[in-house]
Amino acid sequence: MSGRRTTGSLTVITGSMFAGKTEELIRRVRRALYARRTVQVFKHALDTRSESTEVRSHDGALHEAVAVTTGEEVVAGVEEPTDLVAIEEAQFFDAEIVTAVEELADGGYEVVVTGLDMDFRGEPFGPMPALLAVADEVVKLRAICARCGRDASRSQRLIDGEPAAASAPTILVGARESYEARCRQCHQV
């Protein structure tokens, strides 16, 4: 990475479940490919909602990806001719992902990361606060509240249709069967 001549950058795309984070990541990847740039996409292996070799939005848009579990694996997997490194589900990584993406951006790569900024309790999620702090650009997307139709910034976890208890495990990989987008007023823990 030391021989790169371009200026790197770090963009973090964040927001609640169903806000369009993966769609935006795939849109940026497709745009880069259209511009004849080289792209690599990584996702955390905990994301089992789709095949381990792809990222898929809730609306079905997809792109090939490599499943990894650490920031070190991301850095090691980036090939020299790559221009854009995209990383999905950053909230599942440990704090090492921050060092990894900074190393890539400092090395001249354009890095785009997606992740939930808050867990189902409405609290900061994993390494996301640190990623947001070091980002050159932050894109915060909002969904539509499933209850009232206002802009939603929270992810409501549901168990048998009712809000999950605050004592529930932080990570539960799921989609519409376990979560819905909620605004601040409709969100419950």
CA angle in degrees (0–180, nearest 5) for 97-103-107: 145
Sign of CA dihedral 77, 80, 82, 87: positive
Residue tagged active-site, from 73, 89, 103, 180:
89
Please indicate whether residue 110 is annotated as part of the active site: no
E strand spans, the chain? 9-15, 39-44, 54-56, 62-64, 66-68, 84-88, 110-116, 137-141, 143-144, 151-152, 154-159, 162-163, 179-182
- Taking CA atoms, 75 is separated from 90, 100, 147, in Å, by 14, 6, 41
Per DSSP, the residues of 121-156 read TSSB-TTHHHHHHH-SEEEEE-EE-TTT-SEE-EEE
Which residues are identified as catalytic?
A: 89
